[in-house]
Amino acid sequence: MLEITGLGHAYGAHRVLEGIDLEVGEGELVTIVGPSGCGKSTLLRCLAGLMAPGEGKVVLNGTPVTGVPDDLAVVFQDYSRSLMPWLTVRDNVALPLRRRGLGRSERRAGAAEALASVGLGDAAGKYPWQLSGGMQQRVSIARALAYRPSLLLMDEPFGSVDAQTREDLEDLVLRVHRSEGVTILLVTHDIDESVYLGDRVVVLARDPGRIRAELPVTLPAGRDQIGTRSDPEFVRLRAEVGRLVRGVAADLSEAASR
Ligand SMILES: Nc1ncnc2c1ncn2[C@@H]1O[C@H](COP(=O)(O)OP(=O)(O)OP(=O)(O)O)[C@@H](O)[C@H]1O
Ligand SMILES: [Mg+2]
């Protein structure tokens, strides 16, 4: 469903991404893990049609991405800038549904359902600035889910929530993925999370950002926080991804000592 070919980008003289080739199949949940600054957000912005990459192309459902595709939702890393402060939580979540051609009552019902699914049913009438950072990020997740996109891009979506909420939201993403069949590309710098959530883990190296490895995750689909994380296969995979990510760090210190 998503084909990325030879994607590269530089900001001025600073080369951020190089030679990214990646395919994501319909219904897959692919996680991308890599160190800070390796170009993860830049990559997602190119996929979402928010910026044009310097090189390469992105094709979604057979159509080259030139602007923001209709069937796509993004959960941004920076929650504090992604919600409209003058709209209530309910209206923030309902707003994109206009693009779906839904009537007012359907938009409100969709927003209520999505807010309930992230545990914020009671906050619908509040304004974003009346909520904590983690709650605001849950609102932006609810907004993306309410839209029912065929492709959901998530950029470190759980960075600002506490550990318990993080696990709950990870499981929410897995539930939505299973029940709605939505294709998800999720960026994280958390190695355990990349393995716990992914059908496949893509490890990025930095300077410039490029794909270092792709690992299929051969864990059973019905995952749970305690059972899965103690599964020997999970333990093996997280060590493998950890080694690859540390390899990235080793490259960096090598580069620094040259
Ligand atoms: N609009 C921009 N103009 C110039 N440089 C940029 C811009 N956006 C990002 N960069 C630079 O490109 C590099 C990659 O940034 P990007 O935000 O894509 O990384 P990231 O992997 O998402 O990092 P993090 O894990 O910290 O979110 C960084 O060095 C950053 O400073
Ligand atoms: Mg980022």
* 169-228 pLDDT per residue, tens: 899 899 888 888 899 999 998 999 999 999 999 999 888 899 999 999 999 888 999 999
Count how many Cα atoms sit within 13 Å of the Cα of residue 3 in the half-sphere of its side chain. Answer: 8
- CA distance linking residue 77 with residue 156, whole number of Å: 5
Which of 100, 107, 92 lies closest to 141 in space, CA to CA? 92
How many CB atoms lie under 10 A from the CB of residue 41?
16
Contact 17, 58 (CB under 8 A): no
What is the whole-number distance in angstroms between the Cα of residue 112 and the centre of ligand 1?
34
pLDDT at 251 > cutoff 60: no
Instruction: Output the six-digit token pair for 83.
Output: 């919600």
What is the whole-number distance in angstroms between the Cα of residue 189 and the centre of ligand 2?
9
Q: Please name the residues in contact with 56: beta carbons below 8 A apart, sequence gap of 6 or more.
A: 4, 5, 6, 7, 8, 20
With a 6 Å cutoff on the Cβ, whether 16 touches ligand 1 is yes
41-99 per-position pLDDT tens digit: 999 999 999 999 999 999 999 999 998 888 899 998 887 788 999 999 999 999 999 98
Tell me the whole-structure pTM to 2 decimals: 0.91
Q: Please name the residues in contact with 102: beta carbons below 8 A apart, sequence gap of 6 or more.
A: 110
With a 6 Å cutoff on the Cβ, whether 39 touches ligand 1 is yes
Give the residue, by CA position, lying nearest to ligand 1 atom 30: 37
Ligand approaching nearest to the C-alpha of 205: 1
What ranges make up the beta strands (E) of 89-216?
151-155, 183-188, 200-205, 210-216
Which atom of ligand 1 lies at the shortest distance from residue 35's CA?
25
Residue to mutate, 7, 9, 15, 16, ligand 1, most ligand atoms under 8 Å from C-beta = 16
What's the mean pLDDT in 90-118? 92
With a 6 Å cutoff on the Cβ, whether 204 touches ligand 1 is no
pLDDT at 250 > cutoff 80: no
Ligand approaching nearest to the C-alpha of 206: 1
With a 6 Å cutoff on the Cβ, whether 157 touches ligand 1 is no
- CA distance linking residue 195 with residue 27, whole number of Å: 17
pLDDT band of residue 249 (cuts 50, 70, 90) is low
What is the SS3 assignment for 209? Answer: strand
What is the SS3 assignment for 60? Answer: strand
